């Protein structure tokens, strides 16, 4: 039985989430996508992550086509999407910017629901920090979406502690997650204090690019090489794959992190699920923390 993590009283997600950001690269037919989604569900990985901006809305569209083709899927999963990043044709050029205004957030959500062939999202996130952001206005939109039943819960992604606090204050404390990047070569949220903020407030982060988007395995930079040398050593100690050790490391932390696997291969998803049964030694957590040389213990 897959472990689940309660983000709120009303929403539990699987302890490993499947991400669909790279779906556009997979060049799959709807049948292939349906098959993959069902393989995830069979493994207990029932939470699926997407976003409006992925492949310029095509990711949501393709996922929606899969939900329409196999109507049993939607009822078995928790569906997560995001808004806030926009690309528009302005003066003949593509311009990327952020928009977390009331009207944009509400309209984006409705458009996502249409593309995804569903009447609600289980979790809706503000995708990135918006430097021109009115937390009270954005919170107004998120609250109205919740009130209308179009989204069950709301959260953010890539927020620092100040922006998280600002929106959470305006939301009356209702944000249920911050989806952030963390892996053996990325420590932004340790250095910003976000990890401590989430831990003390008992808010579970979702972790994107847990394997650094595959960069760890391509040995193209020194940070990755150093990190992987130590991770391979620990993997041998445990008789597990390095991937499993990385996932176990992320889930060992008291914050209760929920990693998002981005692979399109069920056998690689299995390596993440296996990590739920791997117990690292306390010292091993620090071995990986310091392995790339970016973090030091003082």
Ligand X SMILES: NC(=O)c1ccc[n+]([C@@H]2O[C@H](COP(=O)([O-])OP(=O)(O)OC[C@H]3O[C@@H](n4cnc5c(N)ncnc54)[C@H](OP(=O)(O)O)[C@@H]3O)[C@@H](O)[C@H]2O)c1
Beta pairing, strands 47-49 & 17-19: parallel
Name the minimum Å distance from CB 147 to ligand X.
25
Pick from 30, 263, 294, 295 the residue near ligand X by CB under 6 A: 263
Residues 84-103 interacting with ligand X (rule: CB under 6 A) = none
> Given the rule CB under 6 A, which of 14-22, 95-103, 229-237, 281-289 is the region that contacts ligand X?
14-22
Name the minimum Å distance from CB 177 to ligand X.
11
Nearest to 258 by CA among 42, 4, 10, 43: 4
Round to whole Å and give the CA distance between 218 and 109.
Answer: 37
Q: How many residues bind ligand X (CB under 6 A)?
A: 24
Give 135 or 259: the residue with its C-beta nearer to ligand X.
259
Asked if 158 touches ligand X (CB under 6 A), the answer is yes
Give 26 or 136: the residue with its C-beta nearer to ligand X.
26
Round to whole Å and give the CA distance between 210 and 181.
Answer: 7
Where are any strands of DSSP class E within 26-161?
Answer: 47-49, 78-83, 85-90, 93-98, 121-126, 151-157
> Given the rule CB under 6 A, which of 3-11, 159-167, 264-272, 280-288 is the region that contacts ligand X?
264-272
Asked if 20 touches ligand X (CB under 6 A), the answer is yes
Asked if 264 touches ligand X (CB under 6 A), the answer is yes
DSSP per residue, 82-114: EE-EEEEEETTEEEEEE---HHHHHHHHHHHHH
Round to whole Å and give the CA distance between 4 and 258.
Answer: 9
CA 298 from chain centre, in angstroms, equals 31
Which residues 6+ apart lie within 8 Å of 74 measured at CB?
Answer: 67, 117, 118
Asked if 179 touches ligand X (CB under 6 A), the answer is yes
Asked if 211 touches ligand X (CB under 6 A), the answer is yes
**Catalytic residue (choose from 54, 98, 247, 289):** 54
> Given the rule CB under 6 A, which of 4-12, 27-35, 136-144, 262-270 is the region that contacts ligand X?
262-270
Asked if 260 touches ligand X (CB under 6 A), the answer is yes
Compute, in degrees rounded to 10, the torsion defined by CA atoms 148, 154, 157, 163: 100
Name the minimum Å distance from CB 156 to ligand X.
9
DSSP letter at 177 equals: E
Look up 54 and say whether it is catalytic: yes
Contact characters 224-253, ligand X, x per CB under 6 A: -------------------x----------
Round to whole Å and give the CA distance between 208 and 22.
Answer: 12
The site for ligand X (CB under 6 A) is made up of: 19-22, 49, 157-158, 179, 208-214, 217, 243, 260-265, 268
Catalytic residue numbers read 54
């Amino acid at each position: 039985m897959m472990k689940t993590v309660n983000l709120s009283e009303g929403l539990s997600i699987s302890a490993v989430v499947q991400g669909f950001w790279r779906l556009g690269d997979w060049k799959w037919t709807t049948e292939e996508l349906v098959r993959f989604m069902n393989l995830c569900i069979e493994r207990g990985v029932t939470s699926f992550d997407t976003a409006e901006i992925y492949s310029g809305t095509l990711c949501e569209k393709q996922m929606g086509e899969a939900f329409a083709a196999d109507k049993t899927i939607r009822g078995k999963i928790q569906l997560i999407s995001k808004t806030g990043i926009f690309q528009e044709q302005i003066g003949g050029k593509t311009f990327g910017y952020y928009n977390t205004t009331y009207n944009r957030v509400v309209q984006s959500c409705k458009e996502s629901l249409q593309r995804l062939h569903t009447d609600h999202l289980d979790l809706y996130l503000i995708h990135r920090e918006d430097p021109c952001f009115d937390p009270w206005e954005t919170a107004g939109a998120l609250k109205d979406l919740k009130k209308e039943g179009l989204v069950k819960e709301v959260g953010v992604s890539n927020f620092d502690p100040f922006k998280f606090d600002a929106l959470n204050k305006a939301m009356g404390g209702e944000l249920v997650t911050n989806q952030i990047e963390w892996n053996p070569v990325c420590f932004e949220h340790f250095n910003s204090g976000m990890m401590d903020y989430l831990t003390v407030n008992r808010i579970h982060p979702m972790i994107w690019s847990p394997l650094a988007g595959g960069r760890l395995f391509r040995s193209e930079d020194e940070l990755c090489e150093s990190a992987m040398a130590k991770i391979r050593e620990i993997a041998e100690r445990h008789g597990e794959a390095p991937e499993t050790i990385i996932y176990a490391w992320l889930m060992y932390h008291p914050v209760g992190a929920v990693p998002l696997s981005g692979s399109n291969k069920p056998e690689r998803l299995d390596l993440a699920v296996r990590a739920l049964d791997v117990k690292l030694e306390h010292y091993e957590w620090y071995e990986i923390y310091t392995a790339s040389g970016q973090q030091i213990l003082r």
